Amino acid sequence: MYQCVHQVLFPNEAVAMILARIVAVLGPIETEMLEKGQETHKYFTKEYDLYHLNEVIFLNITKKT
């Protein structure tokens, strides 16, 4: 029987970073699952590439023109 050791598999505070780690280890999340996700738009582009809206806004504001 397996024993629970109470260790976090993907430690991080930011959801976007957790998703990035999960995708890196397990591969892309199925499109069907992303289509049904209520908050998919916050972390994935329309093409279902991973991003975080706040980071994109921050990068656009701080980008030198």
- According to the model, what pLDDT value does residue 30 have? 93
Give strand ranges (E) for the chain.
Answer: none
Q: What is the pTM of this model?
A: 0.59
Across 35-48, average pLDDT = 90
Domain boundaries, the chain: 15-62
Is the pLDDT score of 33 beyond 50? yes
Residue 57 has pLDDT above 50, yes or no: no
Which tokens hold the place of 3? 């024993």
More confident site: 15 or 1: 15
User: What residues contact 44, with CB distance under 8 A and at least 6 apart?
Assistant: 34, 50, 51
Distance of CA 19 to the CA centre of its chain: 3
Q: Does the structure show a pLDDT above 60 at 52?
A: no
